[in-house]
Structure 1
Amino acid sequence: MVRAAVLIACSLMTTMALAETRSDTFRQALDAARNDDWDTLSRMEAELEDNHPLESYLEFHRIRAGLPELSAEKVIAYAEKYNDSPLPDDIRDIAITAYGKAKRWDALLAVSNQVPGPVTLQCYYYQARLASGDDSALQEAARLWNYGSSRPDACDPLFSAARNAGVIDEKAIWERQRLAFEAGNYSLMRYLNRSLEGSEYETAGNWLKKLYRSPDELENLPKGLSKEQKAALREDGFYRWIYTDTVTARKWYEKHAKRIKNEEARQTLARRLAWYSTIRGIEENREWLDNWLEDHSDVELLSQRTRRAIIEQNWDAVAHWIAKLPEQEQADSRWQYWQARALEATGQEDTARELLQKAAQGRNFFAFLAADRLGEPYRFSDAPYAASTPFEPPAAVNRVQLLQELEEDTAAHREWLWLLWNSDREQQQALADYALKQQWYSLAVEASIQSKSWDTLAWRFPPAYRAQFEKEALENNLDPWLAMAVSRRESAFNPRARSGVGASGLMQLMPATARNVARDVGQDRPTQAMLFDQNVNIGLGTRYLAELLEQFNGNRLLALAAYNAGPHRVDNWLEAEDDKAVPADVWVESIPFRETRDYVQAVLTYRVLFIGLHDDQPRTAQLISDKENESRYSLSMLE
């Protein structure tokens, strides 16, 4: 028995050593392919088994390096051979760019099985169509050109052809200048204005620039303009004026609205005026705004107007504006909760309780608030998964595993997404279950989203990296479930996640924040690569969260808002005077940034779900603590 156990152990160790050797060999081969080191690649490939699961990645770089000289037939053959992965789409995009730069138009059209998505590739594609004699490409050029921001340099030849053909004329330039005005792109406006010199739109273009700086000048438009130009400038000037001085713009509109002859434009501008009057809480515009809202069933604006009434704790107005919402909206837990709060404030406790009972049926922040107000447990509506047939992992799953072992997480995630997009719902759910069993937490979450399995909470809220969160939370005197909820919201438990602004890892730490935290605790300066290490990221992230909690006297609502938007903003969101302080629920609703408002609600909700699913704590009174709920939110909280 002992000898058999030793033999088995030796066999396992040998197998693991071989697997590690093969992984290292492939890593060297992939690095060589990326660096166009073909001699090294050939040596490494000789050591790999035939038909290696990731051979497509090595061949990808051979094709990539051969462009644009490589024939379109070889690109197409590669795409057909590996058509069960995202790589064919990638190589086609690369080929379109390479052929486009080399002006190999026939080859470009041969590899383009449809109109590409990115604008740069579309511009190459339509240049190829034009070169083949298809003049309809000029109309597509005009469509791509008519945009309020700059376009890629690759589009310039296509746009020049359209200009020379008269498809893009002075009127089109003027119309694009107006789009740039609307987008707030003053530099593009100036650039386009130079092309209007000497044309019938020169004066209009000059005045458009002037109105951008001084929209109140719309009253002083010169006589030489055409009727259409004057109408357009008046609309554009007022559009800008609403943003720069909403009160004065409203006064002008009340007197001169009929001067905007185009009915559709007038309604669009009135809505914009109502929007800024609402979100800025401009009391001087309140009478006009409320009269406008009475006549317009605009769900988004009615929601914002209700928010404003909540922030002001004008409970009669809260009830009034919620009643203006469509019935489907009123049935949402959020509005049921606030309607109940309004009823409580006006002494209608029994009716309020009925609404809270309805609101508490959901599984979201306001449903949990309602349950806490009633003193009742939360309703999770968890649906366990039961497979209808045995699951046989497709080849892509093996590639995902190997890529993860190589720490090629971006490639692994793209393979996973491609597989999900090309699977039916039954297979998507099977993949979610498989990913969870493999502890591929972020992939399980992704599969739950793609399959719309909203009630299978095991996939959506797995206890990812629980031991590490508990260890770091203990060291920092922090609730581990709160840190896990932050990670779930920030990255969906993807250790290699990186945002557009550079926030990295599980808890999406900015490099500067990570350096500051590490310095404060005497740790080495973390590199970018270190932030993708789950242990490093969780350690620094939990420490930073603990620091914010200390800064905000243990208040999680304030600390979470600071984690998302920055501590300095939270100070600005607290009333300076105690007599203007608001309750916890009102303060959350008053957060000006929708992203941060949703963030605070989501993290607190996720924490409740994690506790309910993975802890033995009661499913009640977990959302907001008594201290947080009893506090009145003003700057005095920080003293």
Structure 2
Amino acid sequence: MIHRALSRTKLLAATTLLGIACSVSAAPPPPPDSVILSARDAVRTGRWADLRNFIPQASGHVLEAYPQYWLLNQQLNDMRVPPPEGDLRAFMERYPATYLAERLRGDWILAADRRGDYSTVIALERTATSTAQIDCAILRAHHLHREYVAQKAIATFSPGEACWTLYTQLVNDGALRWEDLAPQLRDMVESSVRDNELNNTRRMAEYVFDAPRRISFKAMLENPMVWLTRNNPSISTPIDRELVVLALGRLARSGDLATGYTYVERNWGSRLPAVDLKWIRSQFAYIAALRLDPAAKQWYREADGAALSETGQAWRVRMALRETPIDWARVVAVIDQMPPSMHEDDAWAYWRARGQGALGDVAGANAAMQKIAGNFTFYGQLALEELGQPVVIPPRAAAPTDAERRRAARNEGLARALALFDIGWRTEAVREWNFAISKMKDRELIAASELAYQREVLDRAVNTADRTRDEHNFDLRFVSPFHDELVAKAREVGIDPTWVYGLIRQESRFITNAKSTAGASGLMQLMPATATWVARKIGMQGYSASSVNDLDTNLTLGTNYLRIVLEDLNNSPLLASAGYNAGPRRPHTWRGTLSGPVEGAIFAETIPFNETRDYVKKVLSNATYYAALFSGEPQSLKQRLGTVAPQLVEQTAIP
């Protein structure tokens, strides 16, 4: 003991002497984080003179570029003065191939577009941080340099200042006509529910209709039946007919579907061209599909030949899968009508292959399944099982070498991201991290993932490991922190720990203080009211809303809630996962719409909420991989999914 104490004393003395000797030539310490935090506060409060003063103070800090970027961005957007071109170029030269340099390039493109400096837009157009708005600004510049960009503009458009400006320019110059934009307006009418969506739809209508018809469009969007019955609108011209077609399509969102469908057929069926009538039917089919109304199946058949949106295409397939028995020839046929971009989706590749197999083309089905069976996704796993292979963990890649680890530790982009995580700026940190890994190869990705894991930035560890293509480390893809605590909590309430891990991986990516836009908190993303309800239900003593992010509290409440939902839904992990995300009442309702038993994969694919559908597939796929990791044994996703049979809708008091 004395010997060890003396050794430590000698080591401390030697270290101290070494520190004194090195201090003569050592570089000064970097500026404290407080400089960066103060600079950010100056931006928030508009104190630009103070921000200038912080820039030299930040020199040497890993985040030194940020105050400079904030000032340059402010100067770019000050339309009263010319942009500081010299300073902008100096920044991009000083910090080449960095996230902030590329972001500044995009900011400059948008500012130049607003200023009418189209030569600068074209000079800067090669950016690594492209967005729809930046692309629209670039297209406008090319249009004004007499290039044809109309079709690219339609493919690129997303509501936003630069894209609206591009459309205004193209319409005013006669490069886009109402006929070009009518299909886009139809898609927007189909999907508009929220106020911002409706506002964008009204704005798009300004390019299609003249002033009097715009008034009619706004009226019909609010109440299509009132507008139709009061105005007895004419369909004598193509533009007038388009207004009526939109009103009849919008009718699907108001009132009883069957009544509306009958009204269309009786009053307009013989007056409208078949192609327009089919599109109107497709709108009723789509809304019926979202309600899992069996009428959607027939209405989609009656709409065959209509020009459907990608959303409509997907729901036509989903409703075909819910037919009893399934008409596999139809499933294959409607998938074949999808655009090529949708054919690449694992979901449609899988269901088309299932159709091929059911129709007797086993070789073709197996070849199609083989193409997606290597993907570590929900449908990749199901494809493996269709080929007679269980779900297993791929061979683990060799650990990063010391040199690979050093390169990751010295990567300036990763260092900036980690510094941003350290000061709590998660949004900026994620952007820096994602930019830094965007061009990495497998070995670099594994080293970066390991670095994130060591720094306890678990969501980046997972997302980075997820990107590998040939070499994989599933211990990083499917991290299992808090193992002892989580397994104990899950077993205490009698649920599968691998399912809990699969759910947390999707819910929070293991961010203990994660908070959703809806207000859900912690690892297991508990809503405040739900957490309070569960705490009372299980008799938790001393619970308060402020403790919901505490690891023990969150796991206790989350696992108990999951067990309650599971028992309420016939011990089906599929239904319970849906209930955990969308509320337990909804799976009761969705199950009640079935006309017969369906395989779990069909039930999952036909969940009418986009978020919940994606969530359920990922949770159960995750759980299958966790089970394979923990047990070392092959697993079956199909077995987890099971079969869902129709059942009378039951009331549940679970929130």
Same topology, TM > 0.5:
yes
Q: What's the CA shift for 1:610?
A: 0.8
> Partner of 2:60 in structure 1?
51
1:385 paired residue among 397, 408, 426: 397
Q: Give the direction of change, closer, same or farther, for the CA distance of 1:66–1:382 in structure 2 (3 Å limit).
A: same
Q: What's the CA shift for 1:418?
A: 0.7
2:448 paired residue among 421, 431, 436: 431
> Partner of 1:19 in structure 2?
none
Count, aligned residues: 596
- Measured in 1, the distance between the counterparts of 2:200 and 2:292 equals 32
- Measured in 1, the distance between the counterparts of 2:643 and 2:290 equals 26
Q: Does 2:44 correspond to 1:33?
A: no
Q: Give the direction of change, closer, same or farther, for the CA distance of 1:435–1:235 in structure 2 (3 Å limit).
A: same
- Map 1:433-448; keep pairs closer than 5 Å: 434-435=451-452, 440-448=457-465
Q: Does 2:24 correspond to 1:4?
A: no
SS state at 2:479 partner: coil
Contact 2:285 2:300 in 1 (8 A): yes
> Partner of 2:318 in structure 1?
304
- Map 1:26-425; keep pairs closer than 5 Å: 26-36=32-42, 51-61=60-70, 63=72, 68=78, 71-92=84-105, 109=120, 113-114=124-125, 181=189, 184=192, 202=212, 205-206=215-216, 209-210=219-220, 213-215=223-225, 227-244=237-254, 246-247=257-258, 248-249=260-261, 252-253=264-265, 259-261=271-273, 263=275, 265=276, 268-269=279-280, 271-272=282-283, 274-276=285-287, 289-290=300-301, 300=314, 303-309=317-323, 314-315=324-325, 317-319=326-328, 321-322=330-331, 324=333, 378-380=390-392, 382-386=394-398, 390-391=403-404, 392-393=407-408, 394-424=411-441
Q: Give the direction of change, closer, same or farther, for the CA distance of 1:6–1:397 in structure 2 (3 Å limit).
A: farther
- Measured in 2, the distance between the counterparts of 1:559 and 1:480 equals 14
> Partner of 1:610 in structure 2?
626
Q: Give the direction of change, closer, same or farther, for the CA distance of 1:14–1:536 in structure 2 (3 Å limit).
A: farther
AA of the residue aligned to 2:624: V
- Measured in 2, the distance between the counterparts of 1:557 and 1:471 equals 23
Please list the CA deviations of residues 225-248 of structure 1 after superposition, one character each: whole Å capped at 9, or x if unmatched.
752233223322332245546545
Q: Bigger shift: 436-445 or 83-92? A: 436-445
Please list the CA deviations of residues 349-384 of structure 1 after superposition, one character each: whole Å capped at 9, or x if unmatched.
xx9xx99xx89978766787899999x983325132
- Measured in 1, the distance between the counterparts of 2:223 and 2:135 equals 35
Contact 1:361 1:367 in 2 (8 A): yes
Please list the CA deviations of residues 462-509 of structure 1 after superposition, one character each: whole Å capped at 9, or x if unmatched.
324434433544565554322211111224334565544444554344
- Measured in 2, the distance between the counterparts of 1:203 and 1:28 equals 58
SS state at 2:32 partner: helix
User: Which residues of structure 1 form unaligned runs of 5+?
Assistant: 17-21
Contact 1:502 1:511 in 2 (8 A): yes
> Partner of 2:544 in structure 1?
524
- Measured in 1, the distance between the counterparts of 2:598 and 2:71 equals 63
AA of the residue aligned to 1:480: P
2:487 paired residue among 465, 470, 484: 470
> Partner of 2:25 in structure 1?
none
AA of the residue aligned to 2:124: N
- Measured in 2, the distance between the counterparts of 1:208 and 1:450 equals 46
- Measured in 2, the distance between the counterparts of 1:296 and 1:86 equals 40
> Partner of 2:502 in structure 1?
485
Contact 1:208 1:233 in 2 (8 A): no
- Measured in 2, the distance between the counterparts of 1:330 and 1:155 equals 31
Q: Does 2:606 correspond to 1:600?
A: no
Contact 2:452 2:461 in 1 (8 A): yes
Contact 2:420 2:428 in 1 (8 A): yes
Contact 1:234 1:260 in 2 (8 A): no
Identity across matched positions, percent: 20
Contact 1:278 1:289 in 2 (8 A): no
Q: Give the direction of change, closer, same or farther, for the CA distance of 1:526–1:447 in structure 2 (3 Å limit).
A: same
Q: Bigger shift: 283-292 or 420-429? A: 283-292
Q: Bigger shift: 458-467 or 535-544? A: 535-544
Name the Cα RMSD after superposition. Answer: 6.1
AA of the residue aligned to 2:90: A
> Partner of 1:569 in structure 2?
586
SS state at 1:526 partner: helix
Q: Give the direction of change, closer, same or farther, for the CA distance of 1:542–1:64 in structure 2 (3 Å limit).
A: farther
AA of the residue aligned to 2:319: R
Contact 1:420 1:450 in 2 (8 A): no
Contact 2:507 2:525 in 1 (8 A): yes
2:634 paired residue among 613, 619, 622: 619
Contact 2:391 2:637 in 1 (8 A): no
Q: What's the CA shift for 1:85?
A: 2.3
Q: What's the CA shift for 1:565?
A: 0.4
Contact 1:148 1:180 in 2 (8 A): no
AA of the residue aligned to 1:601: K
User: Which residues of structure 2 form unaligned runs of 5+?
Assistant: 20-27, 337-342
- Measured in 2, the distance between the counterparts of 1:339 and 1:568 equals 36
Q: Give the direction of change, closer, same or farther, for the CA distance of 1:23–1:555 in structure 2 (3 Å limit).
A: farther
Q: What's the CA shift for 1:560?
A: 1.5
Q: Give the direction of change, closer, same or farther, for the CA distance of 1:491–1:385 in structure 2 (3 Å limit).
A: same
SS state at 1:35 partner: helix
AA of the residue aligned to 1:416: W
Contact 2:235 2:241 in 1 (8 A): no
- Measured in 2, the distance between the counterparts of 1:624 and 1:637 equals 27
- Measured in 2, the distance between the counterparts of 1:219 and 1:98 equals 48
